Amino acid sequence: MNPTEKTSHELLHILLVEDDDGDAKAIERAFKKIQIVDRIVRAIDGIEALELLKGSNGKTKLKDPGILLVDLNMPRMNGIQFVQAVRADEDLRRSIVFILTTSKRDEDKMAAYDLNVAGYITKATAAVDFMNLVNLMGLYGEVVELP
């Protein structure tokens, strides 16, 4: 099935945790172009993302974020700290998490994979990598059964 042929109940729901406006807008545009996402909600750091996932600190709780796309380097709470908090939470620990980053450091990759992330994606050349990310998410949505 082509991702553009999906019905609305099969489209992905994504929480994008990204502090860079340019990167966030590029990712959102790429997903809209391919039409595989029903909803993208953005948080600017790990703290805001946790508030959205838990419905705390005055934030409305997100319903069914199927996939979490998380930038590695953010203020207040970075991507690794965020994933640690997600994995430590009984209700969130099964979340599907992809790390998005410019870092190619082996230490960062190992820290992410030690937290059982689904993938570590570098954004070295933004336009190409964002389209690759969108295509990867489309394929992921086609072949993986999400709860």
- Going from N- to C-terminal start, the domains of the chain cover 6-142
Instruction: Give the per-residue pLDDT at 52.
Output: 94
Whole-angstrom Cα distance, residue 13 to residue 124?
Answer: 25
Of 3.50.50.60, 2.40.340.10, 3.40.50.2300, 3.40.630.40, which CATH number belongs to 6-142? 3.40.50.2300
Half-sphere exposure of 26 (CA within 13 A, CB side): 17
Whole-angstrom Cα distance, residue 52 to residue 59?
Answer: 6
Whole-angstrom Cα distance, residue 46 to residue 52?
Answer: 10
Instruction: Give the per-residue pLDDT at 99.
Output: 92
pTM of model > 0.95: no
Give 44's pLDDT tier (boundaries 50, 70, 90): very high
Least-confidence region, from 13-17, 26-30, 53-57: 26-30
Percent of the chain past pLDDT 90, that is, above it, reads 41
Q: How far is the CA of 76 from the CAs of 15, 38, 43, 81, 140, in angstroms?
A: 18, 29, 12, 10, 30
